[in-house]
């Protein structure tokens, strides 16, 4: 019997797919084997071929009209396995053959989230190209793919997600935005990316159960992350309610010279107002919203003004304004 099963409900088709024995798989398919049979954990031969990155076996099973959207006992599909293992070519094959791309598993993770969790940049790029949903949330935590990437400090993946238009303003079940963890963990590079990609960094980073909310600038001030405070202030994201955190009594008595220089600069900044030029840029960027680069390029205004709105001179302006 070609569909006979062992103790773990594995059929010959499972074993052939798992090991990538394509000649055996071809013979089984010609004899009418059930290509959608499931083992004791509800895995299909396709899932096992994908899990082991057996591309030729995957192609043969798809040609045999296997069901790509069957889920196992954890509600994972074949595409979840391909994303988890970073099999970019297999991801392309599955999507081209009609696999669903936004199915959530037992934990609420989509294939995109799985690729993000394991920092598979190429897999993330392929899924983004297929227009997957960027903003699905995990069931338990409420985290989006952007939350996950920032928490794990996967800077390149964060850049890909923001460029694709991932929303930064979604709160998880702890009432925290994705930017909150970047500020709390002092991830300056990620905050830089969020500035460039037009995230509204004036939005409260966290809401508390008593109704109190805190801005990102205030959170950074409380934790003594003065470089992030300076980065936010340079681009006009200042919360003047945080003045108290720059008083002498709040600052550690012994700072390294560089940190002391930053604190002194911030004290002066807190005594001045945001320039009209910066306020205008903030208003324009806020109005444009996501995917700012494409929208600004279409505006009928001079190149220099476009570059200013897009913060093309990010590093130079940062250094000049800091002096």
Q: What is the mean pLDDT of residues 296-307?
A: 87
**Per-residue pLDDT band at 47 (split at 50, 70, 90):** very high
**Reported pTM:** 0.87
More reliable by pLDDT, 24 or 2: 24
Tell me: the pLDDT tens digits for 194-242? Answer: 988 888 888 899 998 888 899 999 999 988 898 999 999 888 888 888 8
* pLDDT at residue 275 tops 90: no
The number of beta carbons lying within 10 Å of the beta carbon of residue 100 is 15
* DSSP helix/strand/coil, 213: strand
The chain-wide mean pLDDT, for the chain, equals 89
**174 φ, ψ (degrees, to nearest 5):** -95, 10
CA distance 145 to 87: 18
Query: Which of 56-60, 166-170, 253-257, 287-291 is predicted least confidently?
Result: 253-257
Query: Which of 52-56, 107-111, 260-264 is predicted least confidently?
Result: 260-264
In DSSP notation, 251-286 reads S-S---HHHHHHHHHHHHHTTSPPPHHHHHHHHHHH
More reliable by pLDDT, 213 or 246: 213
More reliable by pLDDT, 193 or 291: 193
Report which secondary-structure segment, H or E, holds 48.
helix 45-51
Domain boundaries, the chain: 169-323
* pLDDT at residue 250 tops 60: no
Q: What is the mean pLDDT of residues 312-320?
A: 53
Q: Which residues contact 314 (CB under 8 A, 6 or more apart)?
A: 192, 195, 196
Q: In the chain, what percentage of residues exceed pLDDT 70?
A: 93
Sign of CA dihedral 184, 188, 193, 198: positive
* pLDDT at residue 175 tops 60: yes
């Amino acid at each position: 019997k070609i569909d006979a099963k062992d103790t773990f409900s594995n059929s010959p088709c499972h074993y052939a797919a798992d090991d990538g024995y394509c000649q055996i798989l071809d013979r089984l398919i010609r004899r009418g084997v059930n290509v959608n049979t499931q083992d004791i954990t509800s895995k299909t031969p396709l899932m096992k071929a994908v899990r082991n990155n057996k591309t030729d076996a995957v192609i043969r099973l798809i040609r045999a009209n296997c069901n790509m959207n069957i889920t196992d006992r954890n509600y994972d599909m074949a595409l979840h396995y391909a994303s988890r293992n970073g099999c970019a070519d297999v991801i392309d094959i599955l999507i081209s053959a009609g696999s669903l791309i936004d199915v959530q598993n037992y934990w609420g993770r989509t294939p995109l989230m799985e690729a993000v969790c394991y920092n598979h940049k190429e897999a993330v790029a392929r899924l983004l190209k297929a227009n997957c949903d960027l903003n699905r949330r995990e069931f338990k935590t409420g985290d989006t793919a952007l939350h996950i990437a920032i928490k794990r400090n996967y800077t390149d993946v964060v850049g890909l997600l923001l460029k694709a238009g991932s929303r930064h303003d979604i709160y998880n079940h702890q009432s925290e935005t994705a930017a909150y963890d970047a500020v709390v963990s002092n991830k300056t590079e990620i905050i830089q990316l969020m500035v460039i990609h037009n995230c509204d960094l004036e939005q409260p980073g966290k809401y508390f159960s008593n109704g109190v909310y805190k801005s990102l600038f205030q959170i950074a001030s409380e934790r003594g992350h003065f470089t992030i405070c300076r980065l936010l202030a340079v681009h006009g994201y200042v919360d003047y309610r945080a003045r108290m955190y720059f008083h002498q009594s709040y600052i550690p008595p012994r700072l390294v010279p560089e940190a002391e220089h930053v604190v002194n600069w911030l004290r002066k900044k807190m005594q001045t107002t945001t320039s009209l030029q910066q306020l205008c840029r903030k208003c324009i960027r806020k109005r444009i919203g996501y995917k700012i680069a494409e929208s600004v390029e279409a505006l009928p205004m001079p190149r220099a003004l476009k570059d200013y709105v897009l913060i093309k001179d990010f590093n130079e302006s940062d250094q000049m304004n800091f002096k």
